[in-house]
Amino acid sequence: MDYESIDTIIPTLGKAGISTPIQRWEKNSHSRNFVSDTARVLIDVSLTSVTKTFKEEKEPPSFEIAGPREKIYFDPSKLRCALVTCGGLCPGLNGIIRSIVLELYYGYGVRNIYGIQYGLQGFIPKYGHDIVDIKPEAVANIIKKGGSFLGSSRGPQDVGEIVDCLERMNIGALFMIGGDGTLMAATKIADAITERGLKISVVGIPKTIDNDIHLVSRSFGFDTAVEVATNAIRAAHNEAQGYPNGIGLIKLMGRHSGFIASTAALAQQDVNFVLIPEVEFDLEGPGGFLDTLEKRLKLRGHAVIVVAEGAGQKLFEARGEEYDASGNVKLNDIGLFLKDAAISYFEEKNIKISLKYIDPSYIIRSLPANANDHVFCSFLGRDAVHAAMAGKTKLLIGHWNNHFVHIPMTASAGKRKQVDPHGKLWSSVLDSTGQGSLKNG
């Protein structure tokens, strides 16, 4: 990837000239480690790339490191903040909300914190959703629950009406928690705010259970998804072993990227086939999926298959594209398709099989986050607050090269991270499963 072309400059609302209320000296004389805007982390840390950049007398591309600043832009006593969660549910949403609220309230002394209910609909008067005045006691225990404390919705809303609402409420900082569609909407909202000459910080916290946000090495909820998916694989393996020619078929999330399927398969190495959107396969013919599955059953008497929801879409008849409320292309159901295809294939060959189909997708999405994701969400939420208080805008909080960083929305929104078919993750999957290419010939 051409990292040198990425514009990593973070817009600001103005000079940060107010001393932060975060205590410089805390208990036991431990110093608060404030972060300077000059503190940065390299985007590409490969020696070849760094050496080449320095030889060309260029500055290597880097991201601004997230964290508290000594000087802030907003006066906390006068600041009004809004939070909104958009798109599909994901483990960790409540952890993000909680960490933002607690850092605003206790870290900076902000007392006016408002929750926008049911996604972007909450900004639009015709929907009639109430605004939630959030206090710490309201969010104290929400990390024990799945879903979103504020609710969510899909679908675009009028940007002008959203900014009208922010202006009416006198909001100074808006925190938007959502996936790629939300980040693109946040970019448009930030642009509209700038056009109106308003001083409103817009900070995004990237949310995708699929872990496919561009320039974000890890997204919250992914760790939980892999953990629960691993349990589903374990169950499918037990079912498959329990019957002659037993087959366990698990469909996991992953519209365009197979990170959950690949990682879960490596975490529970009882999987014999992993099918992901990035790697095409043939269904029939010598060396195709069904032929290879038959050979596996003859050899070992059982098989476990993990398929990402976006895999194998070329196997379906061409149709006019249909879109959901979020603007995503509606996918054909590859899980049920493979189930029916396998049953028909073995019936024609007069081979009796016992196939168990498992789709844990919505169970995973609505669960509370696990311990690792709780910690991760706490970092993301607090760093989002630090960025907003410093007057930074049109950015998202990401994780890159083991640092939490500020990433311009324009650098990430509208782009997608995918599994590299020639990279270590996928080669490890191939080593673990032994499935081969699943291509004819």
- 23 and 164 together in one domain: yes
Q: Do the annotations mark residue 208 as ligand-binding?
A: yes
For 244, the token pair is 């002659």
**Residue 415 — pLDDT band, cuts 50, 70, 90?**
confident
| Rounded average pLDDT over 317-332 | 67
Residues 213 and 184 sit within 8 Å (Cβ to Cβ): no
For 397, the token pair is 């909080």
Q: Do the annotations mark residue 53 as ligand-binding?
A: no
- 151 and 195 together in one domain: yes
Over residues 81-101, the pLDDT tens digits come to 999 999 999 999 999 999 999
pLDDT at 155: 85
- 69 and 206 together in one domain: yes
Which residues have a Cβ under 8 Å from the Cβ of 117 and sit 6 or more positions away?
Answer: 129, 130, 131, 132, 150, 151
**Residue 225 — pLDDT band, cuts 50, 70, 90?**
very high
- 376 and 264 together in one domain: no
Q: Do the annotations mark residue 179 as ligand-binding?
A: yes
| Rounded average pLDDT over 233-247 | 95
Tell me how many domains the chain contains.
2
Lowest mean pLDDT among 50-59, 252-261, 352-361: 50-59
Q: Do the annotations mark residue 1 as ligand-binding?
A: no
210 is catalytic: yes
Q: What is the pLDDT of the chain when averaged over all its residues?
A: 93
pLDDT at 330: 77
| Rounded average pLDDT over 185-208 | 96
Residue from 210, 270, 282, 383 carrying the catalytic annotation: 210
> How many Å apart are CA 175 and CA 224, to the nearest integer?
23
- 28 and 125 together in one domain: yes
Q: Do the annotations mark residue 40 as ligand-binding?
A: no
Identify the CATH number of the domain in which residue 362 sits.
3.40.50.460
- 174 and 214 together in one domain: yes
pLDDT at 7: 87
Q: Do the annotations mark residue 108 as ligand-binding?
A: no
- Angle at the Cα of 357 from the Cα atoms of 356 and 359, rounded to 5 degrees: 145
Query: Is residue 228 one of the residues assigned to a domain?
Result: no
Strand ranges inside 130-222, DSSP E: 131-133, 173-178, 201-206
**Residue 27 — pLDDT band, cuts 50, 70, 90?**
low
Residue-range definition of the domain harbouring residue 265: 234-366+427-433
The answer to whether residue 202 scores a pLDDT higher than 80 is: yes
Strand ranges inside 139-297, DSSP E: 173-178, 201-206, 246-252, 273-275
Identify the CATH number of the domain in which residue 106 sits.
3.40.50.450
> How many Å apart are CA 352 and CA 294, to the nearest integer?
11
> How many Å apart are CA 206 and CA 250, to the nearest integer?
27
Query: Is residue 438 one of the residues assigned to a domain?
Result: no
- 86 and 20 together in one domain: yes
Query: Is residue 335 one of the residues assigned to a domain?
Result: yes
- 190 and 123 together in one domain: yes
- 102 and 197 together in one domain: yes
Over residues 106-159, the pLDDT tens digits come to 999 999 999 999 999 999 999 999 999 999 999 999 999 999 999 999 889 999
Q: What is the pTM of this model?
A: 0.92
- 161 and 240 together in one domain: no
- 336 and 405 together in one domain: no
The answer to whether residue 300 scores a pLDDT higher than 80 is: yes
Q: Do the annotations mark residue 420 as ligand-binding?
A: no
pLDDT at 29: 42
The answer to whether residue 31 scores a pLDDT higher than 60 is: no
Q: Do the annotations mark residue 181 as ligand-binding?
A: yes
Euclidean distance between the first and the last CA atom of the chain, given in angstroms as a whole number? 32
**Residue 6 — pLDDT band, cuts 50, 70, 90?**
confident
pLDDT at 49: 87
| Rounded average pLDDT over 331-349 | 96
Q: Do the annotations mark residue 409 as ligand-binding?
A: no
pLDDT at 32: 62
- 300 and 275 together in one domain: yes
